[in-house]
Amino acid sequence: MKKFERLDGLVAPLDRANVDTDLIIPKQFLKSIKRTGFGPNLFDELRYLDEGYPGQDTSSRPLNPDFVLNQSRYQGAQVLLARRNFGCGSSREHAPWALDDFGFRVVIAPSFADIFYNNSFKNGILLITLDEATVERLFQETEASEGYRLDIDLDAQTITTPSGDVIAFDADPFRKHCLLEGLDDIGLTLEQSGAIRDFESRHRAAQPWLFRDA
Amino acid sequence: MSSRTLYDKLWAQHLVTSRDDGSALIYIDRHLLHEVTSPQAFEGLRLAGRKPWRRDANLATPDHNVPTTLKERSAGNAGILDSVSRIQVETLDANCESFDIEEFRINDERQGIVHVVGPEQGATLPGMTVVCGDSHTATHGAFAALSHGIGTSEVEHVLATQCLIAQKMKNMQVRVEGKLGLGVTAKDIVLAVIGRIGTAGGTGYAIEFAGSAIRELSMEGRMTICNMAIEAGARVGLVAVDDNTIEYLRGRPYAPSVEQWPAAVEAWRNLVSDEGAHFDKVVELDAAEIEPQVTWGTSPEMVVNVSATVPDPAGASDETVERGMKRALEYMGLEAGQKITDIQLDKVFIGSCTNSRIEDLREAAKVARGRKVADNIQLAMVVPGSGLVKRLAEAEGLDKIFIEAGFEWREPGCSMCLAMNADKLGAGERCASTSNRNFEGRQGYGGRTHLVSPAMAAAAAIEGHFVDVRDYDYAPAATMSA
Ligand code: SF4
């Protein structure tokens, strides 16, 4: 997977709670059999005024001027600031694929839905959970000053604001390690093939009905 | 040994290795696949030159993109008019063939929504770990199987290694004690739970549903409840094993053989939380107080009793919630204070992995019998969850009841639950739906979804607006399976 070490990135605020994965990438785009190309349809129903369909040239579609990612000051944003329970609903990994394809490398929110959380890490996207008050403060600062950037250091587990304030964040040690090294977790798991085979034969002996090829 | 919850036991029984940092490798017994979340995983395997670890653990079926109209359906894959959808289904077929994975293809009678098919075949068994690239995999927890949705990278990981990298969840118990009122169903229980704890209330937890009202439910009802655990934020919903579980499974194609059966049943009997087991959180509901539920907004937690009115955002707990409520009212085209029973509908959908099993169709048919769909309803459709559910329903004459009442009787699939096929709402159209998500655009761009039980949906179709099904003159099924 893609490595993540450090990023100094422009921040875009998405001021809305319970953003579900249907909203991040609507179902009509899930028909693709590829992992790439979802960026133009990220937040499709919020971003455009018309209904999108797969394979369309999005450059000629009418943009919703009120949607934050359409505003010129947030072009090129790599850090998405969001509200609680971000990524709830469907397990579609197309949601992090779309965020990644659009250019986001980090999402900061007070909480994330579980499946989305896993899916994002598998794609080298760093999710940072901060308390509501800190997130609120970042929203205010982002909206107040154009060009607001955050310097995010995964190894040190810190976010540095433009004024030099340092905010610490928690990171799961295994995921942090994988992100920093860009590790392929299937390869890692296969290193434990022996342990898996041992488990499997014990499991088969105890509950043979779980195996249909006996 | 100290007392353990059902979840603790299932976790321990599948632990292959655990790391010091808390992450673990757990073994996966059953992997279900559908066409939407698997193509990139197979492609990943192919690129890395890997093969499935254990082919007999996998079972696949196309469900999201399949047409539900007979004419299209009888043409097989060629009847999928949208070429992008068709390629996705064909890709599943090709992948299953080249990786030697069992698949129930589009017109196999065993095809259906993956979460209906697994249990129906006995491919979901107590004590298993069950995963699928689909968040409603929580459904299978009704059988005391540790089941949850995974993403596509994890689908690839499970195919390649038969394991998943996981972290132990916390334990929550939702206890529903007492007797449900007549006409109040499993769907109303789970909507009431979500209304109580919110769509993030279960995040990080495995929820075990317990209490006398849960014990009284059929396996279909328990599946409806576990199915929507994810709508409360919990990846896992569970119900302990009892006689209902065991009787449901007896004789199913993938269930243990006659020789294995006694040993399997003995092992399954242990799949209950021990007396005194510790839950990190306990939520209690009184079944007798639960009314039929109707969602009014764009999140399943935006739910009220059918006798209530649309809530006022001014009463919200904080500003973020208030803004969310206002936006939902605007999207839904509703006013605070409006009576739920005054909401007029355009379409009715009875189906989805939440409510498309035989018991759901029987409940809806009881309401529809001898009545007619209201004139303002442009489309009322019933979509059975699998080919086998459809056949059983037809053997019981349910199809005729629906057709005579003016419902369309369709072929099995996900259909208008998420509108990836041709079944969808138009912008501004309002639908009473037995599915699980009322998110913006879920059932079609600009479509407005109200989540309800099958009986409530059928009654809404007949009246053209929501009604309290308890006031209806019909005979709800006993809640125990026959
Ligand atoms: S019926 Fe709906 S929720 Fe269930 S698997 Fe299909 S699309 Fe997903």
pLDDT digits (tens, 9 = 90+) for B95-114: 999 999 999 999 999 999 99
Chain A segment 51-70 residues within 8 A of B by beta carbon are: 51, 54-55
Residue B342 structure tokens: 């005054």
Residue B226 structure tokens: 């576990």
Q: Which one, of B75, B69, B147, lies nearest residue B114 by Cα?
A: B147
pLDDT digits (tens, 9 = 90+) for B73-84: 999 999 999 999
Nearest CA to CA, how far is A64 from chain B (Å)?
A: 15
* Inter-CA distances, B307 with B217, B290, B342, B475, Å: 24, 11, 10, 21
Average of per-residue pLDDT across B363-375: 97
Return the residue whose CA atom lies nearest to atom 2 of ligand 1: B417
CB pair distance less than 8 Å for A18 and B199: yes
Write out the H or E segment, with its range, that includes residue B431.
strand B430-433
Residue B415 structure tokens: 């259909």
Chain A segment 92-121 residues within 8 A of B by beta carbon are: 92-93, 96, 111, 113-115, 118-119
Mapped onto helix, strand or coil, the DSSP state of residue A180 is helix
pLDDT digits (tens, 9 = 90+) for B383-431: 999 999 999 999 999 999 999 999 999 999 999 999 998 899 999 999 9
Strands (DSSP E) contained in B136-246 are 146-149, 163-167, 170-177, 205-210, 236-238
Nearest CA to CA, how far is A180 from chain B (Å)?
A: 16
Select from B65, B260, B327 the Cβ nearest to the Cβ of A209: B260
- The bridge status of strand B170-177 relative to strand B205-210 is parallel
* Inter-CA distances, B250 with B104, B218, B262, Å: 21, 15, 11
Establish whether this prediction's ipTM goes over 0.85. yes
B377 CA from centroid of ligand 1 (Å): 24
Is B64 touching ligand 1 by the criterion CB < 6 Å?
yes
Q: What is the pLDDT of residue B22?
A: 79
Is B10 touching ligand 1 by the criterion CB < 6 Å?
no
Q: What is the pLDDT of residue B481?
A: 37
* Inter-CA distances, B12 with B3, B25, B146, B264, Å: 13, 11, 11, 18
Crossing angle of the two packed helices A114-122 and A173-181, in degrees rounded to 10: 30
Is B352 touching ligand 1 by the criterion CB < 6 Å?
yes
Gap between the terminal Cα atoms of chain A: 36
Write out the H or E segment, with its range, that includes residue B114.
helix B114-121
Interatomic CA distance for residues B226 and B437, integer angstroms: 14
Residues of B with CB below 8 A from A189's CB?
25, 157, 160-161, 163, 165
Q: What is the pLDDT of residue B476?
A: 66
Interatomic CA distance for residues A175 and A172, integer angstroms: 5
Confidence of residue B477 (pLDDT cuts 50, 70, 90): low
* A16, B324 Cβ separation under 8 angstroms: yes
* B6, B271 Cβ separation under 8 angstroms: yes
In a mutagenesis test of the A interface, which of B84, B246, B299 is the best target, namely the one with the most A β-carbons within 10 Å? B84
Q: What is the pLDDT of residue A214?
A: 58
CB pair distance less than 8 Å for B21 and A92: no
Confidence of residue B472 (pLDDT cuts 50, 70, 90): confident
Within B333-471, residue ranges assigned H as helices are 358-368, 387-395, 398-405, 454-463
CB pair distance less than 8 Å for B40 and A26: no
Nearest-Cα residue of chain B relative to residue A195: B16
pLDDT at B482 over 50: no
CB pair distance less than 8 Å for B165 and A55: no
In a mutagenesis test of the A interface, which of B19, B55, B150, B152 is the best target, namely the one with the most A β-carbons within 10 Å? B152
Q: Which residue has the tokens 């059953």?
A: B30
- The bridge status of strand A6-13 relative to strand A149-153 is antiparallel
* Inter-CA distances, A196 with A192, A202, B380, Å: 6, 10, 50
pLDDT digits (tens, 9 = 90+) for B42-81: 999 999 999 999 999 999 999 999 999 999 999 999 999 9
Q: Which one, of A68, A109, A154, lies nearest residue B320 by Cα?
A: A109
Average of per-residue pLDDT across B230-236: 97
Cα angle B304, B308, B313; round to 5: 65
Chain A segment 167-186 residues within 8 A of B by beta carbon are: 172-175, 185-186
* B172, B268 Cβ separation under 8 angstroms: no
Q: Is A30 on the interface with B (CB under 8 A)?
A: yes
Mapped onto helix, strand or coil, the DSSP state of residue A117 is helix
* B229, B138 Cβ separation under 8 angstroms: yes
Write out the H or E segment, with its range, that includes residue B165.
strand B163-167
Residue B125 structure tokens: 């068994």
Q: What is the pLDDT of residue B480?
A: 36
B119-131 burial: b if 16+ Cβ within 10 Å, else e: bbbbbbbbbbbbb
- The bridge status of strand B448-451 relative to strand B430-433 is parallel
Interatomic CA distance for residues B264 and B247, integer angstroms: 13
Spatial CB neighbours of B233, under 8 Å, sequence gap ≥ 6: A85, A88, A113, A114, B198, B199, B200, B201, B202, B203, B204, B205
Is B190 touching ligand 1 by the criterion CB < 6 Å?
no
Is B32 touching ligand 1 by the criterion CB < 6 Å?
no
CB pair distance less than 8 Å for B445 and A51: yes
What DSSP designation does B145 have? -
Starting at the edge strand found earlier in the chain, the sheet holding B379-382 runs B408-409, B379-382, B347-350, B430-433, B448-451
CB pair distance less than 8 Å for A174 and B22: yes
Select from B133, B167, B446 the Cβ nearest to the Cβ of A91: B133
What is the number of other CB atoms lying within 10 angstroms of the CB of residue A72?
Answer: 7
pLDDT at B86 over 60: yes
Best residue among B32, B33, B64, B423 to mutate for probing ligand 1, ranked by most atoms within 8 Å of CB: B64
CB pair distance less than 8 Å for A22 and B257: no
| A90 CA: nearest ligand 1 atom | 8
CB pair distance less than 8 Å for A208 and B156: no
Interatomic CA distance for residues B175 and B210, integer angstroms: 5
CB pair distance less than 8 Å for A27 and B37: no
In a mutagenesis test of the A interface, which of B30, B77, B148, B165 is the best target, namely the one with the most A β-carbons within 10 Å? B165
Mapped onto helix, strand or coil, the DSSP state of residue B253 is coil
Q: What is the pLDDT of residue B126?
A: 98
Return the residue whose CA atom lies nearest to atom 4 of ligand 1: B353
Is B135 touching ligand 1 by the criterion CB < 6 Å?
no
Enumerate residue ranges in chain A where pLDDT < 50: none
Q: What is the pLDDT of residue B479?
A: 40
Q: What is the pLDDT of residue B1?
A: 61
* A9, A106 Cβ separation under 8 angstroms: yes
Distance of CA A116 to the CA centre of its chain: 7
Q: What is the pLDDT of residue B20?
A: 80
B163 in a labelled binding site? no
What is the number of other CB atoms lying within 10 angstroms of the CB of residue B340?
Answer: 23
B353 in a labelled binding site? yes
B414 in a labelled binding site? yes
Q: What is the pLDDT of residue B141?
A: 98
What's the longest Cα–Cα distance across chain B?
64
Interatomic CA distance for residues B463 and B344, integer angstroms: 9
Residue B108 CA neighbour count, 13 Å, CB half:
15
**In whole numbers, what is the pLDDT of chain B averaged over residues?**
96
Residues counted in chain A:
214
